A = this chain, B = another copy of it.
Amino acid sequence: MANEKPRGPVYYADYLQLDRLLSSQQMQSALHGRPAHDEMLFIIVHQAYELWFKQILWELDAVLATFRKASVPEEGVGQAVSHCARIVEIQRVLLEQIDVLETMTPLDFLDFRDDLMPASGFQSVQFRQIENKLGMRRADRLQILDAPYTSRLNKEDAARVEASEKEPSLFDAIEDWLERTPFLNFGDFDFWREYRRAVDTMLAADRASIRSNPTLTEAEKAKQLEGIESTAAKFADLFEEKPDAPAAAGRHFSRRALQAALLIHLYRDEPILHVPFRLLELLAEIERNFTNWRQRHAQMAMRMIGTRIGTGGTSGAEYLDRAAERHKVFSDLSALASFFIPRSKLPALPPEVRSRMGFRFNAPR
């Protein structure tokens, strides 16, 4: 820094490159000699989306750089939490922008809609990169008319999207990191064995309490016991040691990663798990927000063009609705509560494990 040369003063407009930024709105309707007032909004809102996608990629890349390391430093997890929390705030803006776009009525859209054909938001390279970096796999994508999802991109853009598919994704990196969690086996403490025992105890107590409840009829007892057995069956699947069944849809963590995610959630108050817990929560929140954003887009597409077939050969609203359901990566995190048991029934961590989860300054406790 000693070598930094004195530099000239920075000017706001130059710094932000406003000459380029503010001259990049060319209305197609104006080119055709009948400018449509609302096309400006249409351009600006999409440009704002792309700016924010760039920022999301910037944050995602920072998280990926940390988590692709063989050993993730403690500060790195904290910083990843900040990056993800920022993505969540950006997503609030993305959602709010839909409200702005909805000030355009369908009739106003029709004034220039045909001028844009066949351009479409499906062609957003950055959004595909976000999906791929999060961990969306080609096979899990909704197929449009048997064409690959890159079919409407030009060659260069398709290549960029495909490149992002090949890099290790955040899903992969998080799975690796979870698998390395040290606390699953710790001396003769085996979290998984203890947890199974606690689940069995809980289910047994639940069954007993139903059977001995004098306020229930036999029919009610039967029904409630049925619920218990369904839960028991779910847990049995979780605990079975046989290799994972091929995923029906979406992505699934390895059994060991799933165990670690459970441990982190269930013992999140231990200091060393606090920040990892927030990270897992934020990943699930990011996914929920994108789902919600797609659902809002589906509603807007319906409002704007109704049930007509879009330029890509599908009804936009229907595609977006189905994509909202299907384009998920961290669904294991979203549904993790399926395997929670109440805190009061959790196996207690052995003191030496708890102590290792605390700060050096305070330890031992």
Contacts and interface: CB of A to CB of B under 8 A. Distances in A.
A: contact size bracket:
35 or more
Interface in A40-74: 40-41, 43-44, 46-48, 50-52, 54-55, 58, 62, 74
B117 A339 contact: no
Contact of A120 (B7, B12, B92, B340): B12
Contacts of A362: 74
Interface of A is mostly: helix
- Highest count of chain B CB atoms <10 Å: which of A10, A41, A337, A364: A337
Interface in A68-113: 74-75, 78-79, 82, 85-86, 89-90, 92-93, 96-97, 99-100, 102-103, 105-107, 110-111, 113
A51 B50 contact: no
Contact of A338 (B40, B121, B308): B308
Contacts of A106: 265, 336-337, 340
A217 interface: no
Contacts of A309: 227, 230-231
A106 to B, nearest CB: 4
A124 interface: yes
Given A47-B51, A74-B271, A307-B234, A302 B107 contact: no
Contacts of A116: 10, 15
A24 B13 contact: no
Interface string A290-302: 0110011001001
A300 to B, nearest CB: 9
A121 B214 CA distance: 26
